[in-house]
């Protein structure tokens, strides 16, 4: 059996970006809540609600990185990497409930539009746009390597679009007096957020259920292993992700009769997985006969799956 382990914890750049983004959103959240209450704008309050979830999401994401740095121990031999995925999943749930609340409140207000102070609404929304743009730029570099950071990035991105919508709404209300536009924009923000929330939730669940990562083609991995010299067949092939970018694989390989020393075949297959599929944490067990046959030949009866 051969192992190739890579458990180093990265993400120092992500941690720094999250700290700055958290500071910015926390400070502006207070201003946006006050502005929403003073102006009477639902769109602005919905944007403030998104910024609140931004703040919570960034705090959770930062905590997940800190916890994830803890070393493995005798109770948690893989360490605490999964906290990142739990944080991403919680972010998705927060986004979902905020979007549903905004849709409900907008539906309620469409029939009875509230009086809107468009100037206050506009000024606060412009400030929010600037803060969200800076936060989005801070998190952009880490969104493709971490579901945790991706969740926080989507929160800030949704809120930035929300700020744009509020600005447009404030201008329309200021020049036309159409207060119902405020509710329409709030609905648009909620509908934009929902599908992205579902995607993040689905990706997080896939990791927690130890599903095959989206960027791994399992049939192609199987074909590559079977096409290697010295491989007769394989079984019990499993590919899963411990966390973002930490893909693991385990497989039982039955070698051909020509193979003498099995160690070179193990190294060959391990190198193949690393080079072609970027899978650096692999457990490869090479056998001369399948597990089931070996168990029966030793009098243990058929193997139970």
Percentage of residues in the chain having pLDDT higher than 70: 80
- Count other Cβ atoms within 10 Å, centred on residue 170: 28
pLDDT, tens digit, for every residue of 41-70?
A: 666 666 676 677 677 777 777 777 777 777
- The rounded distance, in Å, linking the Cα atoms of 4 and 248 is 9
Let me know: does 238 contact 271? Beta carbons within 8 Å: no
Contacts of 163 (CB under 8 A, 6+ apart): 47, 125, 126, 128, 129, 132
- The rounded distance, in Å, linking the Cα atoms of 84 and 143 is 13
Give residue 145's Cα distance to chain centre.
Answer: 9
- The rounded distance, in Å, linking the Cα atoms of 116 and 74 is 59
pLDDT score, position 114: 61
Cross-strand pairs, 234: 253
- Tell me what percent of the chain is helix, strand and coil, each rounded to the nearest 5: 65, 10, 25
- The rounded distance, in Å, linking the Cα atoms of 280 and 270 is 8
- The rounded distance, in Å, linking the Cα atoms of 141 and 143 is 6
Give residue 112's Cα distance to chain centre.
Answer: 38
pLDDT, tens digit, for every residue of 5-49?
A: 444 334 455 777 777 878 887 777 777 777 777 777 666 666 676
pLDDT score, position 4: 43
- Domains of the chain in start order, with CATH, are 7-208 (1.20.1510.10), 218-297 (3.30.70.1350)
Most confident of 91-95, 178-182, 272-276: 272-276
């Amino acid at each position: 059996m051969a192992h190739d382990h890579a458990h180093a914890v990265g993400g120092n750049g992500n941690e720094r970006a999250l700290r700055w983004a958290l500071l910015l959103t926390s400070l502006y959240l207070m201003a946006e809540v006050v502005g929403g209450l003073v102006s009477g704008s639902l769109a602005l309050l919905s944007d403030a609600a998104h910024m609140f979830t931004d703040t919570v999401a960034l705090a959770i994401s930062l905590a997940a990185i800190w916890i994830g740095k803890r070393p493995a121990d005798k109770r948690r031999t893989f360490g605490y990497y999964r906290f990142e995925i739990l944080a991403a999943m919680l972010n998705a749930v927060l986004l979902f409930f905020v979007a549903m609340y905004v849709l409900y409140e907008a539906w309620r207000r469409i029939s009875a539009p509230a009086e809107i102070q468009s100037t206050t609404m506009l000024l606060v929304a412009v400030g929010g746009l600037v803060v969200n743009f800076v936060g989005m730029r801070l998190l952009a570099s880490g969104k493709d390597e971490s579901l945790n950071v991706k969740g926080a990035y989507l929160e800030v991105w949704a809120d930035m679009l929300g700020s744009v919508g509020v600005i447009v709404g404030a201008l329309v209300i200021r020049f036309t007096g159409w207060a119902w536009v405020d509710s329409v924009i709030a609905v648009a923000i909620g509908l934009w957020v929902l599908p992205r929330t579902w995607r993040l939730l689905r990706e997080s669940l896939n990791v927690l259920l130890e599903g095959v990562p989206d960027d791994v083609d399992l049939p192609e991995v199987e074909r590559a292993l079977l096409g290697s010299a010295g491989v007769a067949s394989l079984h019990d092939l499993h590919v899963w992700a411990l966390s973002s970018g930490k893909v693991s694989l385990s497989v039982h390989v039955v070698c051909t009769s020509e193979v003498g020393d099995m160690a070179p075949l193990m190294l060959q297959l391990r190198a193949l997985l690393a080079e072609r599929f970027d899978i650096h944490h692999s457990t490869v067990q090479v056998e001369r006969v399948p597990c089931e046959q070996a168990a029966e030949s030793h009098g243990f009866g058929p193997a139970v799956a």
